[in-house]
Amino acid sequence: MAEKRPEKVFRIGFVSVSIFAHEIDNDGDKRTVRSVSLQKRFRDGDEWKYTSSLSLAELPQAMRLLELATRHVESREA
């Protein structure tokens, strides 16, 4: 199965939030719902990796990114 690309990504430093749109069909009633993934990128040797664990210093970034994600999802689904 092909990996689905995010509809929108917001980043502050190494913290990012990705928004994915999913089409659902409920007895012929098709609509789009969205999910949000919060992650931090870090380097492990020569390799970039991702985690959902954040430090105290990264929490304000995460809060701001979640505000941006909320506004994006609300504007698309409201």
Residue in the structure block whose two tokens are 């809060």: 63
Q: According to the model, what pLDDT value does residue 58 have?
A: 97
Q: According to the model, what pLDDT value does residue 4 have?
A: 87
In angstroms, the CA 30 to CA 4 distance is 19
At 78, the pLDDT band (50, 70, 90 cuts) reads: confident
Instruction: Please give the helix or strand (H or E) that residue 49 lies within, else none.
Output: strand 47-51
Report the sign of the C-alpha dihedral through residues 67, 71, 76, 78, in that order.
positive
Q: According to the model, what pLDDT value does residue 2 have?
A: 57
Q: Note the pLDDT tens digit of each residue in 2-47.
A: 578 999 999 999 999 999 999 999 888 999 999 999 999 999 999 9
Q: According to the model, what pLDDT value does residue 42 have?
A: 96
* Domain locations in the chain as residue ranges: 8-77
Report the sign of the C-alpha dihedral through residues 62, 68, 69, 70, in that order.
positive
Kindly give, in sequence order, each residue whose CB lies less than 8 Å from that of residue 24, ignoring residues fewer than 6 positions away.
30, 31, 32, 33
Whole-prediction pTM:
0.86
